[in-house]
Chain A
């Protein structure tokens, strides 16, 4: 009913643009024939996106099934919310993974998130452009290395036979046990993330910094602002929108912490500290065959992330910020 009422008004408003009026007159099949090359060009790429994003998304229904790979989705039994009971019954392994995930996310929010902001301010304050570019080239590099390489590098640097301990040994000092030690594990993975991505993450902040109106700095300098004062009153306010935007996006990811990074180091340090939700899904689902339960955990994780982004965006709007998008 509503649609029939709305439709005439829509056409009316659209017909003001002469182009769409003409388009409306061309029959559908004739437009298909006319645009066949465009459609053919779009086809393979769209097929990949549709199959591996949208069709795959539909695969989440197995969270409501007692899924058996040899039966497939069509013939597996539907079990309603049974798979989700693990989330509420307090399965110790699941709770452990959840707790570890939250601890790691908290650490990353406190230590990893601000690091590129500080580094960007530091780089931005350099007088010489050549020094700045040289430092950038070096610090961006680790971002392009895979996690396997980063983990291997850290082992070689900090492991038992690594650079650090060799040096300590040559001085006759006590060696430090960092790799494979549960007590230092969180410090280790946090510093790995900082090492790998802090440089690269400055790129967005630097882009924003380069857009700040120079007259703001001049005016504040005339008023006697020191360099620190300028950062506080000019630079940081200009960075606020991008900081908030990235923080909201980070919230959406807060339940997925570095799958590759953790799966690589789990063996050495044990599941007690290194099992997170993503590795739980992998270990129990793909390796362990508990398909339905793992899919349920994955689904809830995705939904929580989505809800966090939506809520955070709303909160940002309430405080008068731009947020990620405006609906």
Chain B
């Protein structure tokens, strides 16, 4: 493209500077006019600002000095100085620290269990021709179509004796039928010759899965794992239903109590004797702690979801 354009410029007889000629169509669509471009830029710019601004404000307020927060009456957009007292108080070992540990445990262990079960089930369902394969696949697919309802789900968890146990935050949501279908689609799409060659070399079913299937599935398992992880981290509904003991609350419930409902955070709750910064600073620090892990995995998620998740799901 560029080469031909510079070429034609050289041949031109007069050397008067002229605007570089632009193609009238881009992929068959006429170029946007200036008015349209400006309107679009404004709309998208405002939309992005509406997303970014709150994050900036929350981070700034959590870092701002107590004096500035009090002077501003709550919310600060540009901190004048950095003050980490809010974070120090929140991490002092009280309710918030405990909740953070609960959330980390549930997210870590939950993601591990979910990935293991999903990979195993996805592999098993991809083995067409094995016994009851179609029936099992139907069971998984049909389960996507309904939800048993809040009270029946609660009764099952109660019956299993999982109420007020951290396992109630993991086991009921451990296997997502959708993710199983995605992983199965990946295994079905693998060239069967590779699997057959392993079998000819004497690998049994387990060895084929463990040493051929799993390593090949790493990319898709990474995406599925990230989705599980974000799901566990964000889970609020299950914790609300199943966990009444405040000592076992995950971060999302603590966030609700202290930030959404605005209950006073005392030094006792945080397990510290030091003087506390303003409530707003503490609230924003808790908010930042619960957002940051999502922000960290977000770039990895983002790289994959457009292609990986969708193609896998559509092919299923």
Contacts and interface: CB of A to CB of B under 8 A. Distances in A.
- Same assembly: yes
Interface stretch (A2-10, A93-101, A102-110, A139-147): A139-147
Contact of B146 (A57, A125, A137, A156): A57
B285 interface: no
A7 B28 CA distance: 57
A297 to B, nearest CB: 9
Contact of B73 (A152, A153, A161): A161
A281 B306 CA distance: 36
Interface stretch (A84-92, A211-219, A311-319): A211-219
Q: Point out which of B131, B153, B280, B301 has the most chain A C-beta atoms below 10 A from its C-beta.
A: B131
B90 interface: no
- Kindly state the interface size class of chain B when it binds its partner: 35 or more
B177 interface: yes
Contacts of B26: 127
A37 B204 CA distance: 9
Nearest to A296: B151
Interface in B35-93: 36, 40, 43-44, 47-48, 50-54, 57-58, 61, 72-75, 77
B155 A59 contact: yes
A270 interface: no
B151 A295 contact: yes
Given A152-B287, A214-B27, A218-B28, A45 B40 contact: no
A122 B44 contact: yes
B252 A59 contact: no
A124 to B, nearest CB: 9
A19 interface: yes
Contacts of B32: 125, 127, 227
Interface in A23-59: 23, 28, 31-32, 34-35, 37-39, 41-42, 44-46, 48-59
Interface in B11-44: 25-32, 36, 40, 43-44
Contacts of B241: 282, 286
A60 interface: yes
Interface in B293-310: 294-295, 298, 301-302, 305-306, 310
Contacts of A28: 131
A306 B146 contact: yes
A162 interface: yes
Given A19-B129, A139-B48, A221-B29, A163 B121 contact: no
Contacts of B197: none
A298 B53 CA distance: 39
Interface in A277-327: 278, 281-282, 285-286, 291, 294-295, 298-299, 301-302, 306
Contact of A146 (B136, B148, B150, B236): B236
Interface in B129-143: 129-133, 136, 139-140, 143
Nearest to A299: B149
Contacts of A49: 139-140, 143, 175, 177
B315 to A, nearest CB: 13
Given A37-B205, A155-B260, A51 B124 contact: no
A148 B148 contact: no
Interface of B is mostly: helix
Interface residues of A, number: 97
Interface string A228-260: 001000000000000000000000000000011
A140 B29 contact: no
B151 A135 contact: no
Contacts of A71: none
A298 B310 contact: no
B105 interface: no
Contacts of A281: 149-151
Given A35-B130, A38-B124, A221-B25, A149 B290 contact: yes
9 contacts: A31-B131, A38-B130, A44-B121, A56-B149, A140-B302, A203-B306, A227-B30, A281-B150, A298-B150
Which 4 A-B residue pairings sit nearest by Cβ, starting from the closest?
A217-B28, A59-B152, A45-B121, A161-B74
Interface of A: 19, 23, 28, 31-32, 34-35, 37-39, 41-42, 44-46, 48-60, 62, 69, 72-73, 119, 122-123, 125-127, 135, 137-142, 144-149, 151-153, 155-157, 161-163, 166, 169, 195, 199, 203-204, 207, 214-221, 226-227, 230, 259-260, 263-265, 267, 278, 281-282, 285-286, 291, 294-295, 298-299, 301-302, 306
Given A56-B156, A295-B149, 20 more contacts: A19-B129, A38-B124, A42-B124, A45-B180, A46-B140, A48-B175, A59-B156, A60-B152, A135-B44, A138-B48, A140-B302, A141-B298, A149-B291, A156-B61, A169-B73, A199-B51, A216-B28, A221-B28, A265-B260, A299-B149
